[in-house]
Chain A
Amino acid sequence: MIVRILGEGQYDLDDHALDALNGLDNQIEAAIESGDEEMFRTALSGLLASVRASGTHHDMDSLDESDLILPPPDATIDEVRQLLGDDGLIPG
């Protein structure tokens, strides 16, 4: 499975390694819904750290699409909301 951290690049992860990340992903989503920036920060950095730790860099010159895409490490809740808002941060 390929996971992209925005601003960092793509990582290859085992599917089972990804299961462990589900909890953090749910926390991030809850934090975004409640606007809890601190919880968001902690959960996001935890999630990204796990991806980096259990993944390996995907070939830089491959044209493979990622299965999952994660926000950049220094993203704020507002930025992630914009990311999810479709016509927000991601330039077409």
Chain B
Amino acid sequence: MSLMKRISLIFRSKANRALDKAEDPRETLDYSYQRQLELLSKVRRGVADVATSRKRVELQVNQLEQQSTKLQGQAEKAIGVGREDLAREALTRKSGLTSQIESLKEQRATLQGEEEKLVLAQQRLQAKVEAFRTRKETIKATYTAAEAQTRIGEAMSGIGEEMGDVGLAIQRAEDKTAQMQARGQAIDELIASGALDDASQVNAGDDISRELDAMSSGSDVESELARLKAGNAPQAIEAGDGDILADTDTDSDEVAVRRETSEGGPA
């Protein structure tokens, strides 16, 4: 039992050190109770902090998933216009995003785990703090300073061990959250810069989008032209016959003047 024993002894010596601080052992009860309440609020803050980090990661997952859907759409569009090269590029980028998303989902699971651990730690500590408070009042009311010593020692070491455990849980959760916040920051910056549009190439930007846009605006122009040609066919024929205004008898002179003016004006 060497390892387990050693860890236990270290916890115990810490609890005893805390006990040695006050002259009247009964004072240590109040002092310890204050520290317990502080630790309780610290663990509550810890739960909130981890939850915030987890929500941030979830937000990032959503953003990247949207991006991934967009790339999928681009790939389909590219295939539609016969650009297999663009479709391949879009799908390559999408697979780069997929691994980012997977890694973020792992982070989210880790944070969720830490959050659950802290919630449980909070419940355990809460229960023990309640028990300690009752014990503390009994000891203070019933025993003289000398008699109280042993009872206090028992109560203190039990709660001291729990506090050590909870303190450790908070510290570990903080460490993990800090690591992930640093990575999360980096991903936020990537998303903001648009570089994640392309997970496989740096600084490539969203050129698939641009090229597809260019192509689609090009084809939009063509199809609109075609539509216009079809819709304007009768007029176009008249215009083709010569003077488009020939059949507007009433205004023909006036128009003819205007035409002369406008055509002759610059000359």
Question: Which residues of chain A have C-beta atoms less than 8 A from B131's C-beta?
Answer: 61-63
B33 within 8 A of A: no
> Which of A3, A66, A84 has the most chain B CB atoms inside 10 A of its CB?
A66
Q: Are B10 and A90 in contact (CB under 8 A)?
A: yes
B193 within 8 A of A: no
Closest to A75 in B: B172
Q: Are A92 and B168 in contact (CB under 8 A)?
A: no
> What is the interface of chain A mostly: helix, strand, loop, or mixed?
loop
Q: Are B17 and A92 in contact (CB under 8 A)?
A: yes
B161 within 8 A of A: yes
A12 within 8 A of B: no
> Which of B3, B14, B117 has the most chain A CB atoms inside 10 A of its CB?
B3
Q: Are B127 and A4 in contact (CB under 8 A)?
A: no
Q: Are A4 and B161 in contact (CB under 8 A)?
A: yes
Given contact pairs A62-B158, A83-B10, A25 touches B172 in the complex (Cβ within 8 A): no
Q: Are B8 and A60 in contact (CB under 8 A)?
A: no
A22 to B3, CA, bound (A): 10
Question: Which residues of chain A have C-beta atoms less than 8 A from B184's C-beta?
Answer: none
In chain B between 91 and 142, which residues have their CB closer than 8 angstroms to a CB of chain A?
A: 117, 120-121, 123-124, 127-128, 130-132, 135
B interface residues, how many (CB within 8 angstroms): 40
Q: Are A84 and B10 in contact (CB under 8 A)?
A: yes
- Nearest-neighbour CB distance to chain A for B34, whole angstroms, equals 15
Closest to A92 in B: B14
Q: Are A65 and B167 in contact (CB under 8 A)?
A: no
Q: Are A60 and B3 in contact (CB under 8 A)?
A: no
A interface residues, how many (CB within 8 angstroms): 35
A66 to B8, CA, bound (A): 8
Given contact pairs A68-B1, A84-B7, A90 touches B164 in the complex (Cβ within 8 A): yes
> What is the interface of chain B mostly: helix, strand, loop, or mixed?
helix
Q: Are B12 and A63 in contact (CB under 8 A)?
A: no
Contact with A along B5-17 (1 / 0, CB 8 A): 1111011111001
B159 within 8 A of A: yes
Closest to A28 in B: B3
Question: Which residues of chain B have C-beta atoms less than 8 A from A25's C-beta?
Answer: 1-4
- Nearest-neighbour CB distance to chain A for B194, whole angstroms, equals 36
Closest to B176 in A: A74
**A-B pairs, 10 with minimum CB distance:** A63-B158, A91-B167, A68-B4, A61-B127, A61-B131, A60-B127, A69-B8, A69-B7, A65-B157, A29-B3
Can you pick out 21 interface pairs between chain A and chain B where the beta carbons lie within 8 Å of each other?
A6-B169, A7-B165, A7-B168, A7-B172, A18-B1, A29-B2, A29-B3, A32-B3, A61-B131, A63-B132, A63-B155, A63-B158, A64-B158, A65-B12, A68-B7, A68-B8, A69-B161, A70-B7, A71-B7, A86-B13, A92-B14
17 additional contacts (CB under 8 A) given A4-B165, A21-B1, A86-B13: A4-B161, A6-B165, A7-B169, A60-B123, A61-B130, A63-B154, A63-B159, A68-B8, A69-B7, A69-B8, A69-B161, A71-B7, A83-B7, A90-B14, A91-B167, A91-B168, A91-B171
